[in-house]
Amino acid sequence: MRNAATQSSVRINNQKLIIEYIVKNGLVSRAELAKNLNISKPTISTNVEGLLEQDILVELGEGNSSGGRKPTMLNFNYDHKMIIAVDLNRNAPLIALSNLSGVIIKSTSITIEVADDKPLLIEKLTGAINHLMQSTNHPLNTIGAISIAIPGVIDETTGKIFANPQFALWTNLNLKAVLENIYHVPVILKNDISMAALGEKHYGVGKQVDDMMYVSIGLGVGAGLIINGNLFEGKRKAAGEIGYSRILGIESQQTLEEKISTENIKRTLLASIEAGQETTLELSFTGSLIDALKQARNDSFVQNYLDDIYKTLGIAVANAALILDLEMIVIGGVLSEVEDDMILKIQHHMDEILPFKTKAALSDLKNMAGVYGLLVVAKNRIMEVIVE
């Protein structure tokens, strides 16, 4: 006679098989489950009843019958647990609510001020989460996981965040411990660029490839890697720190980020203007760099400068493609918004270097890429433990 632990293990395995089948195939009858999973009808019936009691499965009407009583159809309850995804960008963190289908139900954002301290940040964040749940009539106890994209490296042992200087507000803030204490659900911290890569792989331009790199150019420069269809983070969760690379010659100490991040582009252009460079470009320390560049795209100085940026980026990503045999490079971040033919120019420089074809593409999901990546990791975490 099997002991209780063995029986529990068999039950969990059977219920996971049932859930996986229904999620993949949709509406199904108990008889079809028994046939297709090669599990006895009584075992299927017992496990289905258990999943219905837990509200993991739902009954949705009657199916077709070749004779006799019509079967009751089963489906997965995608509202069984809800996901909160938080993309902690610098000034306006985005918070989204989804069910287990991965479809965003509602989203909102919060405004972060320079004077905000960490307690106020937590207050704003939890207020936004609570509002999303209440405004969509989902009790807080239906949250299954909270996934958060952080602009930096996360120590997964301690939960502490090590962000770049411009994101000092998040540095050493243990969001994992704080939010788990409030909501009593798993809180998953991930690098924001890695999440954007995962989002593009599952929902965006990278759906058809297995090996790709997502590169974001904004206040910083970073990359996320998808290898063999899976997110590759590295042992220290620091894979993709392309911004630290030096490609301008062995004597140069300038990093890629120091040349092509938006803050450094603005600083370089201002220095040129102050030195007497003739240009129609108008920059101020408070104005939008991207708007200024768009307005001055026909200026020869601006165009030559941007072409040099694209060449530098093209060389950098081509080097990565050579090392990792990448099928696609996806470009995101605010710099990707400057001009339509940016990607064609980057592709040209890649083609000059690469002995094989690697496609350059703009992000499909734009500023939502990270949120969609967060939905993927949160759903995976919930599904791992959906039956115990």
pLDDT tens digits, one per residue of 312-357: 999 999 999 999 999 999 999 998 988 889 999 999 999 999 999 9
Q: Is pLDDT above 80 for 90? A: no
pLDDT confidence of residue 251:
53
The mean pLDDT value of the chain amounts to 91
CA distances from 44 to 11, 67, 144, 171 (A): 10, 21, 26, 50
Average pLDDT of span 179-204? 96
CATH number for the segment(s) 82-197+370-384? 3.30.420.40
Residue 189, amino acid: L
What value does the mean pLDDT take over residues 253-270? Answer: 91
Give the C-alpha separation, 77 to 56, whole Å: 5
Q: For residues 211 and 104, what is the distance between their CA atoms, to the nearest angstrom?
A: 26
List of residues 6+ apart from 250 with CB closer than 8 A: none
250 vs 212: which has the higher pLDDT: 212
Of 341, 279, 326, nearest in space to 305 by CA: 279
Residue 209 CB coordination number (10 Å): 18
Other C-beta atoms lying within 10 Å of the C-beta of residue 311: 15
Rounded Cα distance, 159 and 369, in Å: 23
**Residue ranges per structural domain of the chain:** 4-76, 82-197+370-384, 207-363
CATH of 4-76, one of 3.30.530.20, 3.40.50.300, 3.30.420.40, 1.10.10.10: 1.10.10.10
User: Residue 227 — very low, low, confident or very high, per pLDDT cuts 50/70/90?
Assistant: very high
CA distance 104 to 83: 9
Residue scoring higher pLDDT (304 or 165): 304
Q: How many residues does the chain have?
A: 388
Residue 10 CB partners (closer than 8 Å, separation 6+): 2
Same fold for the pair 4-76 and 82-197+370-384: no
Specify the pLDDT at position 250. Answer: 47
Amino acid letter at 93? P
Q: Report whether CATH 3.30.420.40 matches the domain 207-363.
A: yes
Residue 116: pLDDT band (50, 70, 90) is confident
What is the radius of gyration, based on Cα positions, of the chain?
A: 25
* 113 band by pLDDT with thresholds 50, 70 and 90: confident
Q: How far is CA 126 from CA 70, 131, 188, 204, in A?
A: 47, 8, 15, 29
pLDDT at 1: 45
98, containing H or E segment? strand 94-98
DSSP secondary-structure letter at 231? E
Within its chain, how far is the Cα of 48 from the centroid? 33
The stretch 171-198 carries a mean pLDDT of 92
Dist CA 106 CA 84 (whole Å): 10
CA 151/CA 108 separation, integer angstroms: 19
- Three-class SS state of 274: helix
Residue 322 has a pLDDT of 96
- Residues 202, 372 contacting (CB under 8 angstroms): yes
Instruction: Please report, for residues 90, 165, 192, 333, the alpha-carbon distance to residue 107 in angstroms, rounded to integers and kept in the order given.
Output: 17, 28, 17, 20
Q: pLDDT tens-digit profile of 119-130?
A: 898 999 999 999
Enumerate helices (H) and strands (E) in the chain, giving the number of each: 12, 15
Tell me which residue of 139, 142, 105, 127 sits closest to 179, measured CA to CA.
127
Lowest mean pLDDT among 48-62, 103-117, 164-178, 349-363: 164-178
